[in-house]
A and B are shown apart, each in its own frame.
Chain A
């Protein structure tokens, strides 16, 4: 999942960005409203975490401009502004969620996960594809009931392919959703990551479920019997 964190506090950028990355998200970070708007319009993010008091343009203006351009990315407002009027204004301007500082990181994480699920029209945090189970909340993967140890990025890749099961996902889309702008993506990094993931989730006696579509990308489907 690819997130955009627009927050002017350097320390919050650092800690929240680090936490989200550790939780398996690709996170782009900016502290400026203008740059945030440009990033939001130039990339396809799953969720934007938006502070309201920003240099450049303020968060509400940014959100208003985003919605005016028919950008439907889920937006979570993260701000110290706590009055009822502020919350109503934020939600009415087009935010999907509103969290007041100070906040519990776990709560932020849970809200981001919920918004990500909503991006793919899912309410259940568990994805089941044949004998493969993916739990978005606990970040656990099982195959045939057996836990599979994945890194955060591998989990993110698997979750993304699973959310788009039955559809061919191109390398560019994978890059956009799994790797943040700050990550230098090597030309074959996606292929290597998919190869490694495929190896980890293919247990003895099970069929591979990630298929390569040459020249197009990858598709995750239930194992053929």
Chain B
């Protein structure tokens, strides 16, 4: 499995090693160059001494080998070498230990030529070659008026470089061992740093692993979280909050459905069992049948409501827009409710322009309005007013149903459109199934309308807005 920590550790440790070895190689080369320069220039003095020991006179060239020149050329063990040529190739002088010839290359005294060479004893060495005009012999004077002597000679000196190579090897070894140590230390240190750096990510991962459907109340800690992870944790927390709310709603919905079905089933079963146990009571049996029918109708209402909600939520509701005259629709809905309103002495006022017309699905709109008006009638106090008003609001029109409220509190509003929500925790009201407003909201959404409820002092106002007026639809 791919691991950010492993990849980061390997990449950073690898980079550290590359940088170290690159730096070490550069340092080695620089030191090597410096040491060789130092070695070469240390031997320029020897070459200068040898050049001073070479003299010329009208009699010819000679090398003063009697002088005490550098003992390194005379030693028995690992002697250095030099050779002196005339420009025609005639060997003028060889150091005592040199039996053959040294390779001949030459610079000037000011800029000598240096190169690596294999010494006559088979070991590695460093050679320096110069071409120069030897000094005139002080003892054999040139005739007066004769031109100065300008004969050149070539001097090549070769020195053992064991000591130089040993130092270079030592430096190389130190750098290599240091590099290996550094690589090991880099892997450990980088691993630690990466692990430490990724600790918040690990904490987030551990918390995520601990969250399942039964622990949605858990949240990702956001305190001391790095700035890079903070937006992720915040978004995840938002997501969890929504999930928790959805799960809670789902559980509540399941419990509500169970309760809405269990109670009528219990009623039906008790009715039937008691009737079967004591069948001789004809009058009671008649009541049983009436109750059974009422229970069946109640269950049918719940089932129909649930199916309608499922259709709306699954976008399966077929919307057939048409011109809907609002006053006629309201009147149509109110007619069967008139007796119910009359019993409670409710005063229903319609404030609707005669020509009000929406381009929408008539059946769905009728269901919404019927639900709102039925609720208004059922929950209004006796002898109170109900107003149905249609008015312009900005570019659109909105339909409001306003009635006296003695039932709902502000904290109830967020739950008003939830499925099976009832103000009464006992859910004992048989007036409705608790699905009406949820269904009205779902229908409104399917029609592209907005259904809202607000408490205005002692009134509750349901507002349906966002409809397309017939004129606008024609345009």
Q: Which residues in A have some Cβ–Cβ distance to B below 8 Å?
A: 8-12, 14-16, 18-19, 22, 31, 33, 53-55, 58, 80-82, 101-106
Contacts and interface: CB of A to CB of B under 8 A. Distances in A.
Given A14-B287, A80-B263, A82-B258, A105 B273 contact: yes
A187 to B, nearest CB: 29
Nearest to A54: B426
A16 B258 contact: no
Nearest to A56: B426
Of B266, B288, B428, the most chain A CB neighbours within 10 A belong to B266
Contacts of A12: 263, 266-267, 270
Nearest to B294: A11
Interface in B280-334: 281, 284, 287-288, 291, 294-295
B273 A104 contact: yes
A16 B426 contact: no
Given A11-B294, A22-B274, A102-B265, 19 more contacts: A9-B266, A9-B267, A12-B267, A15-B275, A16-B274, A19-B270, A19-B273, A22-B277, A54-B428, A55-B428, A58-B425, A58-B426, A80-B259, A81-B259, A82-B258, A82-B262, A101-B262, A105-B274, A106-B273
Give the 3 A-B residue pairs with the shortest CB-CB distance, closest first.
Answer: A101-B266, A8-B428, A19-B274
Contact of A55 (B270, B271, B426): B426
27 contacts: A8-B426, A9-B263, A11-B295, A12-B263, A12-B267, A12-B270, A14-B287, A14-B291, A15-B270, A15-B274, A15-B275, A15-B291, A18-B274, A22-B281, A53-B427, A54-B428, A55-B428, A80-B258, A80-B259, A82-B258, A82-B262, A101-B266, A102-B265, A102-B268, A102-B270, A103-B269, A105-B274
A103 B262 CA distance: 10
Contacts of A19: 270, 273-274, 277-278
A109 to B, nearest CB: 9
Given A80-B262, A101-B262, A102-B262, A16 B425 contact: no
A105 B428 contact: no
Nearest to B274: A19
B297 to A, nearest CB: 12
A221 to B, nearest CB: 34
B45 interface: no
A102 B266 contact: yes
Contacts of B295: 11
A16 B295 CA distance: 15
Contacts of B271: 11, 15
A183 B389 CA distance: 53
B287 A102 contact: no
A12 B263 CA distance: 9
B68 interface: no
Contact of B425 (A15, A53, A82, A102): A53
Contacts of A22: 274, 277-278, 281
Contacts of A104: 269, 273
Interface string B11-44: 0000000000000000000000000000000000
B430 interface: yes
Nearest to A109: B277
B411 interface: no
Contacts of A54: 426, 428
Nearest to A11: B267
Contact of B291 (A8, A11, A55, A80): A11
Find the residue from B265, B267, B277 having the highest chain A CB count within 10 A: B267
A14 B269 CA distance: 13
B428 A31 contact: yes
Interface string B408-430: 00000000000000001111101
Interface hub of B271, B275, B288 (most chain A Cβ within 10 A): B271
Contacts of B426: 8, 33, 53-55, 58
A103 B427 CA distance: 19
Contacts of A53: 259, 425-428
Residue from the set A81, A102, A104 with the largest chain B CB neighbour count within 10 Å: A102
B274 A103 contact: no
A97 to B, nearest CB: 16
A55 B424 contact: yes
Given A22-B274, A53-B427, A55-B426, A15 B288 contact: yes
Contacts of A80: 258-259, 262-263, 266
Nearest to A12: B267
